[in-house]
Amino acid sequence: MNQEQTKMSTYQRTALGTAMAGLGMQSCSTMLLSYVLTSIIADFAISSTAGGAISTVTNLGMLAGGIIFGTLADKYGRVKIFAITVAIFSLATGATAFASNIAMVYVLRFLVGVGGGGEYGVIMSIVADAFNEKRRGRVTSFVTIAGQIGSIVAAIAAALIIPAFGWRGLFV
């Protein structure tokens, strides 16, 4: 390949950067739960089974979000739907800090899942549309690597924030 074939257009750089940032933030948001689950169980005086159900609810939301927003992205545009999915998981993540009972946690984590599950399919479609088949595998790998970086950021944030501000501070 010559240099012209490997150079990314502005649109491709924007699509890739946005997709990487989006999945990184979504993975960070999703992983926060694993660092605070025992604190949530203790604060709401629930069983470990009820606490574990929070992850199940989040995954059910991801399933629903993938189905709903994949269809909406094809109909109304991927970029617009991407922005909506990011807003959903971001706002629901932040709102989790203010949950006053476990039912609210379930609802908010379901919404985190809806936004996150919807976002994943949309960003992969954006990237697939932006790159030809010879580069698609490599660039989608970059997006998924950004997701893993988001998980690492969640771990670092948990180590720094939880001791000072507790589990609620981490969600903020």
Is the Cβ–Cβ distance between 39 and 90 less than 8 Å? Answer: no
With tokens 């924030």, the residue in question is: 161
Q: Would you place residue 5 in the very low, low, confident or very high pLDDT band (cuts 50, 70, 90)?
A: low
Q: What is the DSSP string of 42-86?
A: HHHT--HHHHHHHHHHHHHHHHHHHHHHHHHHHHH-HHHHHHHHH
For 117-157, the pLDDT digits (tens) are 999 999 999 999 999 989 999 999 999 999 999 999 999 99
> Given CA atoms 58, 60, 66, 71 in this order, what sign does their dihedral have?
negative
- What is the pTM for the complete model shown? 0.91
For 31-62, the pLDDT digits (tens) are 999 999 999 999 999 999 999 999 999 999 99
